[in-house]
Chain A
């Protein structure tokens, strides 16, 4: 993409989705300065990985943007030591297993994902959606690279295993 076309495409995406990003920051922070930080960090990341972001396809843009925004908000929370939602223990594993017995399909896959321990899901989003390296994840969550790697592997295995057990596949 020519540089100017790229800039115009960015500006178009910014103007059509800025309210979504701003509103998402409000789900994590009430303070305007924190929301401002998260808002800017989000758009900086979008710019940094614009080619990948742009090629994801229009239908995925909102989900992609919410993922990025959530991640930037969580990073700020971690930095402030306010994040209590990334427990070290494997909380929720039993719920995850129990919930695997009922419904089916894509909606079910999302439910399974929602039941994944939050620190696993956070690492999966960083690695698979935001394509961050293991060391970047470790730095963002202020954990060791070994732990980041373990969380990724366990979370991924747990999710794939449950999806397969329920016969959920992606074409």
Chain B
């Protein structure tokens, strides 16, 4: 080991978590809003030319959201009508930036909504579910086919701290209707870039994002088939039968 390597190792060893008094017992949980904010980055952490504004955009959006929140709080506490209206209506703020679009959510959902389990009942031919990630508030499910092509479904309750985020630089946008709610399709216009679809369940309490290297129509078909699963039944079937293709 040369001298530089030895010094490097010493410097790293000296920065073990214990040097800052950090142990397994006092690790803090990462807040849900941070996890939600990282979701976009984690989709492609090695993107060479990440939009310079992605971090600022989140802060900018957070600033706007904070200003709106102050105004809404005043209204909420002074007007019963406004309170009822806000409880039921103001749940989603869509923010357009030059390079990406974000959906910020507010409110709070009942536990049965927050813990609900959702899956598509139709998948493009050959695709199977292969990974489910719990992302502290959001669930990410990955699908792939034998050729290694993939697409992803994310769902989360429409509530404070959750957010969906997507690239809008390489797609054409159009609003459509799914489940009686406005849905947002960003169909890729660039080879090698994902299409994205954001949609909601019939009650507007659960948000979904499906994306992959596939036409918008395929994403829509997947989205139209997404349905809530009985959690107990789902787990039972999953343990008995394995991945998705066997239980639908």
Contact = CB atoms under 8 A, between A and B. Distances in A.
Contacts of A15: 133
Interface string B53-67: 001001100100000
Max chain A C-beta neighbours (<10 A), residue from B3, B14, B35, B41 = B14
Interface string A17-31: 011101110110000
B14 A114 contact: yes
Interface in B9-23: 9-17, 19-22
Nearest to A71: B15
Contact of B12 (A3, A67, A169, A170): A67
Contacts of A121: 11
Contacts of B26: 23
B15 A67 contact: yes
A129 B11 CA distance: 7
A20 B17 contact: yes
B34 A24 contact: no
Nearest to B26: A23
A20 B29 CA distance: 9
Interface in A27-54: 27, 32-33, 36-37, 39-40, 43-44, 47, 50
A50 B46 contact: yes
22 contacts: A3-B46, A6-B46, A10-B46, A14-B38, A20-B17, A24-B20, A36-B59, A39-B38, A40-B55, A44-B41, A47-B46, A60-B13, A63-B13, A63-B15, A63-B17, A66-B15, A67-B15, A70-B20, A121-B11, A128-B8, A159-B7, A169-B6
Interface of A: 3-4, 6-7, 10-11, 14-15, 18-20, 22-24, 26-27, 32-33, 36-37, 39-40, 43-44, 47, 50, 56, 60, 62-64, 66-67, 70, 106, 109-110, 113-114, 121, 124-125, 128-129, 156, 159-160, 169-171
